[in-house]
Structure 1
């Protein structure tokens, strides 16, 4: 049978899982935003099941939106464009970000692309 401490991870592992620094986790704990278990030796341990990135974002961060941009220069590369979009979507989703992926097909020297204009206006 697993004890409660067997489900918990170190501060370094928790920071990595959330994509923040160890200092940030300590600050969140000091402010009461996050509760850590402590080992007999006084080391912090965190339950990964309770570490949801969206729970720790400030209101300003929650309103932020990430815009990712993918572009290829020719119709022959349309499959490459789809792969780029998938990679960007996966990365943004894993970071827990609210995001939008804008994609364009056309030369990098053509600044009149619809997606590029939309990106610059965002």
Structure 2
């Protein structure tokens, strides 16, 4: 017997947002069954590791994480920002690239 789960449980299981599941339903990528009150329900037996892998490849997106401080005195803060961003992106299971910037819009040719 099939076990149906809500869209929020399906989103957590697949590691995507609810909005992504709604878009996939509209695009026909992962179609949900509907309740009499038109709520989306997903058949848990159809959410397999192979499906998760295929959807991850199909949804080939990269997140850009950006860390910045304005002076060399804040270099330790920049390292902490980078660590926090890396941990967050990894925890979310995202493919990501971290960009960091040290400096400001100051004129470095100015005396003093």
Structure 1 stretches of 4+ with a deviation exceeding 6 A read 35-39
Aligned length: 100
Where structure 1 has 5 or more consecutive residues not aligned to the other structure, the ranges are 113-122
Whether the 8 Å CA contact 2:7–2:41 is kept in 1: the answer is yes
Residue 101 of structure 1 deviates from its aligned partner by: 0.7
Q: Is 2:11 the partner of 1:12?
A: no
The TM-score normalised by the length of structure 2 is: 0.54
Deviations 1:74-116 (A, max 9, x none): 3332222122112222333344432211112222x1499xxxx
Q: TM-score, normalised by structure 1?
A: 0.51
C-alpha RMSD of matched pairs (Å):
4.0
How far the C-alpha of 1:70 sits from its partner, in A, is: 0.8
- Per the alignment, do residues 86 and 55 of structure 1 end up closer, same or farther by CA in structure 2, a change over 3 Å counting? farther
Instruction: Verify: 1:81 aligned to 2:87, yes or no.
Output: no
Q: Looking at both structures, which has the greater relative contact order when contacts are Cα pairs under 8 Å and sequence separation is at least 6?
A: 2
Return closer, same or farther for 1:111/1:26 CA change in 2, 3 Å cut-off.
farther
Gaps of 5+ in 2: none
